[in-house]
Amino acid sequence: MAASLTANAISALYNGDVDLKPAVQVLDIKQIGTTNNMQERYRMVLSDGTHMQQAMLATQLNEYVKSGQIQKGSVVQLIEYICNCVQNRKIIIVLNMEVIALKCDIVGEPKQIIDANAQQQQRVSMPVQQAPQAQASPQAQPGQSYAGSYNTGLRSGPNLNPVSQTTSG
């Protein structure tokens, strides 16, 4: 069965759009946090057919997974969700959803969405590393006691001692 996914939904969610109620596909579901004092949680990978993004299922929705209502390939409509930053990575927290289709073939060839800031830092990091080699070190200018470019307006001269040099005679 072919599924109809909301175009560019992952990008919109990633950038903070909380008014959208997108149809997305579940590419993966894994159970996490089953230690004695932690309640079980489910991590999912959601896709809009173009991009994919990590997501967490709110614990009140665990029954969807346990009962088999959602599985790999399911198409769901996100009703309520937030996008949080966890360990320097954005993650979609699914608070409420509806199942549109239980099992579908994977739609498109989704790629991991890349944070524009991280992408920019990667592009900038290379020139920054090369910059000290390409630029000459600042040279001390007359009137400066260091190699910086900040000009205090002070000038060096023969008498920098604040003590008066008057002679008594």
Establish if 47 belongs to a structural domain.
Answer: yes
pLDDT band of 158, cuts 50, 70, 90? low
Q: Are strands 111-112 and 23-32 parallel, antiparallel or unpaired?
A: unpaired
Total tally of structural domains belonging to the chain: 1
Sole residue written with tokens 């390939």? 73
pLDDT band of 15, cuts 50, 70, 90? confident
Residue range 114-143: mean pLDDT, rounded: 49
Quick check: helix, strand or coil at residue 11? Answer: helix
Rounded Cα distance, 29 and 70, in Å? 9
pLDDT band of 18, cuts 50, 70, 90? confident
The model's pLDDT over 50-74, given as tens digits with 9 standing for 90+, comes to 999 999 999 999 999 999 999 999 9
Based on C-alpha coordinates, what's the Rg of the chain? 30
CATH number of the domain bearing residue 57: 2.40.50.140
Establish if 169 belongs to a structural domain.
Answer: no
Establish if 125 belongs to a structural domain.
Answer: no
pLDDT band of 141, cuts 50, 70, 90? low
Rounded Cα distance, 18 and 83, in Å? 8
Establish if 139 belongs to a structural domain.
Answer: no
Look up the domain containing 29 and give its range.
9-108
Q: Are strands 23-32 and 75-86 parallel, antiparallel or unpaired?
A: antiparallel
pLDDT band of 113, cuts 50, 70, 90? confident
Better pLDDT: 120 or 44: 44
Type of residue numbered 55: A
Quick check: helix, strand or coil at residue 124? Answer: helix
Rounded Cα distance, 74 and 54, in Å? 15
Sole residue written with tokens 């920054």? 128
Establish if 96 belongs to a structural domain.
Answer: yes
Establish if 44 belongs to a structural domain.
Answer: yes
- Dihedral sign of CA atoms 123, 125, 129, 131 in order: positive
Please check the confidence at residue 95 and state whether its pLDDT lies above 80.
yes
Please check the confidence at residue 14 and state whether its pLDDT lies above 70.
yes
Establish if 60 belongs to a structural domain.
Answer: yes
